[in-house]
Amino acid sequence: MAKLITLQPNQVLLQEGEHSHNMYWVQSGQLVVTKKRGNEDILLGHIHTGELVGEISFLDNEARSATVKAINEVELIAIPQETFDNIFNSQPKWLEVLVKTLAERLRKANARIKV
């Protein structure tokens, strides 16, 4: 079952390298996405109200590729793997192949980008 989560400013939602079985739908607030390069945090972007975060590793079961933390108070809906799978498994098999292919291509493209 999906649940509402509230983050305070500077609270980390996702840590680069960790594994998780949730993706998140931002209901309010803003998050920042960073990636480690040596001892430095490189800004990759921002996540805004209405967007999903954590979707790539959620779909391909790989480690998180970046760290995401709240800029201000953020409300999110956590979507657990089991909830997603229950809906997703009722769809045609080609949809699963499409989603996994897109996630794989996106992860490979991200890996080629030099930060």
- Contact assessment for residue 25 and residue 44, using Cβ atoms and an 8 Å cutoff: no
> Per-residue pLDDT tens for 30-67?
999 999 888 999 999 999 999 999 998 888 888 998 99
What's residue 111's pLDDT?
75
User: Comparing C-alpha atoms, which of 5, 111, 112, 9 is closest to residue 70?
Assistant: 9
Does domain 3-112 fall into CATH 2.60.120.10? yes
What gap in Å lies between CA 10 and CA 19, rounded to an integer?
20
pTM of the model: 0.83
Q: What is the pLDDT of residues 12-21, one digit of tens each?
A: 999 999 998 8
Residue 26: phi and psi, rounded to 5, are -75, 120
Distances in Å between the alpha carbon of 3 and those of 19, 58, 75?
Answer: 19, 16, 10
